Chains A and B, each alone.
Chain A
Amino acid sequence: MATRKFLQTILKNGKINHHKFYSSESPLFPGARTTWTERLDFTGPHSYSPIPVYRVMDRQGNIIKSSQDPKLSNEVIEKMYKDMTLLKTMDKILYESQRQGRISFYMTNYGEEATHIGSAAALDMEDLVFGQYREAGVLVWRGFSLKDFMSQCYGNVDDLGKGRQMPVHYGSNKINFVTISSPLSTQIPQAAGAAYALKGKNRVVICYFGEGAASEGDAHAAFNFAATLECPVIFFCRNNGYAISTPTKDQYRGDGIAARGPGYGINTLRVDGNDVFAVFNATKKAKQYCLKENKPVVLEALTYRIGHHSTSDDSSAYRSKDEVDSWRQFDSPINKLRMFMEANGLWNADKEKQWIDKAKKDILEAFADAEKRPKPNWHEMFKDVYKFMPKHLTKQLNEMQSHVEKYKEHYPTKNYAA
C-alpha cells in the first residue's frame, strides 16, 4: 500500500509519462520481449530436443513419404546421378595425379556429392554462389567444364584464375560462382552483403561452409548481419563430422550448427546430406522463403567426410578405417540415389558401365590436354593487383623482365606462355 502511494507520488510529480511502467505486468527491458518467471532454472541443451533431420529416402533409396517426393523428371534425376558420379570419378583421377606429383594439391568431395548436387539443382543460374572449397559438384551442375577444372588445378593458360591460386580454388563469373579463397568463413559475411545488394532483384545467394568454419568469428558476424539487415541468403552448412582431424565434439557442444540459427532469429532446417532429394527440397523451400521474406535461412546438411581432408592429410591418424568404410558402404549418397533409380527402372549395370567408362575417358582426355598446355605468361603475376597497374608495379615488372633475360637459364621460362 505504501509502495503504491509512493509510486503515485512519483507519477504525479514526474514530468514524463511513466504510466506504462506503472500499469504493465510484463518486463519492459528493450533487450528482449519476454515474460517474468519466479523459477530459478538454467536454460540449456536439456531445455530443447535436438532439431530432427529431414529426409525423403531411407538408406536403401526408398521414398518414405510420397508427399515428400520432389517428383523430378527422369532427365533431372539422371543429370543428378551423372554429375555426382562424374565428380567422384574426377576426384579419383585428380587425387591419384597429386599422389604422382603431377598437380601440387587436391581435395576430394567423397560422401558429400548429394549436398552439392541437391542444392545446386534447386537454384537458378542467376543465384550467386559463395563456397568454401568442397563444393565442386555445384560447379559441375552449373556447367564448369572438365577443361575448366583441370586448367585451374594445373594453373595453365586456360585457367580463369590465371594460375594464381592453389588447386581446387575454382571460380567463374559466367556461372555466378564466386572464386574460392583459402581463409575459412571469410565468404560468409560477404554472402550476406551480396544478398543485401541483390535484394529485390529476384536472386538469392547461397553460401556453403563446413561445421568447422562455423566456429570462426566471421560465421557469427554473418548470421547476425543477415538477420538484422534482412538479407536473402541461404547459409548452407556441410556438417561432415570433422574439421581436418578435429571431431565435432571438440568443435562445439550445442546441437550442431542448425541450433544456432534460431538464436540469431533465423529460420533453420536440418537435412540428411546423403539424400539428394531431401537436400533439393530443403534448398527449394529455403529459396522460396528468402525471396518472399527477404530474410536468411540456415540449412545444415548432416553428412560424413569419406575422403581425407586433403592430399596433405592421412585421416587414418585420427579415425578408424571401419568407421569410414561403414559410411562408404551403407550410407553413400551416390549408392542411395542409384538404388532409387534402379528400383524405378531409370538405371542399370549396363548404363553404369557405359557412363563411368565415358566419364573416365573424358576426364583423362581433359587431364592430358591440361597437362600439356603452358602456364600463363609470368607477367600475369603483376596484373590485376589493381584494376590498372600502378607505376611502382610497372617498375618491378620491368626490373624482373631485365633480370629474367639475363638469367634465363635459371628460370623455367619455356613452361610459360610467351
Chain B
Amino acid sequence: MMALNKLSFECLRSVKNGLFKDARVLQVARVKMSHFTYMPDAKPPVGGEMLKMNMFQAINNALDLALKTDDSAIIFGEDVAFGGVFRCSIGLQKKYGPERVFNTPLCEQGIIGFAIGAASAGATSIAEIQFADYIFPAFDQIVNEAAKYRYRSGDQFDCGKLTIRAPCGAVGHGALYHSQSPEAYFAHTPGIKVVVPRGPIKAKGLLLACIRDPDPCLIFEPKCMYRAAVEQVPVGDYISPIGKADVLKKGDKITLIGWGTQVHVLLEVAQLAKEKFNISCEVIDLVSIVPWDRDTIIESVKKTKRALVAHEAPLTGGFGAELAAAIQEDCFLHLEAPVARITGFDTPFPHIFEPFYLPDKWRCLQAIKDLIDY
C-alpha cells in the first residue's frame, strides 16, 4: 500500500543516528508532539525486574516473549525482517530465524488472509499492518472472514490465534494516511477484539493478552508514543486484561474517558481543571474498545454525574457515540449535563492544520467548563 514514506524514513534516520542523539531530530520531535505530555503509569502490574523502555521497546520485548514461549508463533508483515519501520521487531529475526520472523509482499489483504489461514492451521500469527491507515485493503478479510470464522463454522474452525498490530493516531505531521484512528470501523464488527494501549507497560501486557486470547484481536498502537513514552516496564511475562478499563485518576465532578494518546491529554486536562477551576476530574482509560468495560464507565458517571469522551477519530460514527448512548441509557437519572464528545472533526486528517484538528487539552478544558456550568 505504501512506499517508504517520510515518516518511516525519519525513523530509519534516527535509528542510524543512534536513537534521538541527533539534536535536530529530537527538537523536531518535541515541537511536533507538543499536543500531549506523557504521564508514566503509576504502578507496574507485576513485580520483579524492571527496565526503562519506550513503547517500541516494550512491544519488542512482548514479541520476544511470545516467540520464546510459543514455538508456533510467527511474526510477519511489510519490512518486519530488518526490525520494522518503527523498530518493533528489531533483533527478532536474528534470534528466531527467517521462518518465524519474515517479510511479506506489499499487500495488506494478503497479509491478513495469510495470517487467518496460518492461525486456522494452528500457528500463532502476529501480523503487522505498517500503518492503521493501510488496514482498509484488509477490511474484507478482517470483517467478513476473521471475525466470522468461528461463528459460521459452528466452532469447527477458528482463527483465534490471530493478532493484528497496527500503528495508529496522530504523529504531528502524518496528514491523511499516517494519522488515522480506525477503531470505530472495527467496533461495529462482532467477533473481533480491539484494544489501544496508552504506553509501554500497557502495550506489552495488552499485546501478550491479544496473542494468547482465543479470539482474533486488533491492537492499535499510538505511534507517537513509540519513542516519546518511556517508563519502567517489568521484564517478566504478564498480560493486561482485554475488556477492562483503568481508572487512572479519581475525581468526583466529571468523568473523562479516552484511550491511547488521548489519555495523556485528559490527564493533563484534569490537572488544568483542578488548577484553573478547582474541578475534580476522574480520568478513565477505556483500553479496550471491543468488548468495552461498561461497568467501570457507568459506575464512574453515576458518581460524577457528568461525562466527557475524547478521541482523535472523527465525531460522526466515532466510538464516543457508542459510549454516549450507553451512558445516557444507564445513567439517565444521574446525569446533570449532556454527555460531551470532544473529537477530531468530520474531515480527513489534515497536514498543516493538525494543531487545529486534534481534540487538544484546551478544547477538552473548555468542554469541562461548559459541562460544569450547564
Contacts and interface: CB of A to CB of B under 8 A. Distances in A.
Given A194-B117, A197-B117, A225 B107 contact: yes
In this complex, the member of A189, A218, A220, A383 whose beta carbon has the largest number of chain B beta carbons within 10 angstroms is A189
Contacts of B140: 183, 186, 218
B113 A188 contact: yes
A186 B151 contact: no
A160 interface: yes
Interface residues of B, number: 46
A221 B110 contact: yes
B151 A164 contact: yes
Contact of A386 (B116, B141, B150): B150
Contacts of A169: 152
A391 interface: yes
Contacts of A390: 243, 291
Contacts of B360: none
Contacts of B110: 189, 218, 220-222, 224-225
A384 B121 contact: no
Interface string A143-164: 0000000000000000111101
Contacts of B145: 181, 183, 186, 190
B113 A218 contact: yes
Given A196-B114, A197-B117, A229-B104, A387 B158 contact: yes
A161 B152 contact: yes
Contacts of A210: none
B182 interface: no
Nearest to B148: A181
Interface in A169-188: 169, 171-173, 178-179, 181, 183, 186, 188
Contacts of A181: 144-145, 148, 152
Contacts of A178: 120, 153, 157
A246 interface: no
A90 interface: no
B193 to A, nearest CB: 8
Nearest to A185: B113
Nearest to A231: B114
Interface string A126-150: 0010100000000000000000000
B114 A193 contact: yes
Interface in B89-125: 102, 104-105, 107, 109-110, 112-123, 125
Contacts of B119: 193, 197
A218 B109 contact: yes
Interface string A188-232: 111111111110000001000000000001101110110011000
Given A165-B152, A173-B157, A221 B113 contact: yes
A393 B158 CA distance: 19
Interface residues of A, number: 48
A385 interface: yes
Interface string A24-61: 00000000000000000000000000000000000000
B291 A173 contact: no
A222 B115 CA distance: 11
A183 B122 contact: no
Contact of B118 (A159, A193, A217, A385): A193
Interface string A378-415: 00000111111011110000000000000000000000
Nearest to B108: A221
A217 B150 CA distance: 24
B215 A189 contact: no
A46 B107 CA distance: 30
Given A181-B144, A229-B102, A190 B116 contact: yes
A192 B114 contact: yes
Contacts of B116: 189-190, 193
B130 to A, nearest CB: 16
B154 interface: yes
Contact of B215 (A162, A171, A386): A386
B190 A179 contact: no
B109 A171 contact: no
Interface string B313-334: 0000000000000000000000
Interface in B247-285: none
Nearest to B213: A387
Contacts of B191: 385-386
B215 A161 contact: no
A161 to B, nearest CB: 4
Nearest to A192: B114
Nearest to B160: A387
B144 A186 contact: yes
In this complex, the member of B114, B118, B160, B215 whose beta carbon has the largest number of chain A beta carbons within 10 angstroms is B114
A392 B121 contact: no
Contacts of B151: 164, 384-385
A199 to B, nearest CB: 8
B137 interface: yes
A229 B118 CA distance: 12
6 contacts: A160-B153, A173-B153, A179-B153, A192-B114, A196-B74, A221-B107
Given A197-B72, A229-B104, 8 more contacts: A183-B140, A193-B120, A217-B137, A222-B113, A385-B151, A387-B150, A387-B215, A391-B294
The 4 closest A-B pairs by CB, nearest first: A189-B113, A193-B117, A221-B110, A190-B117
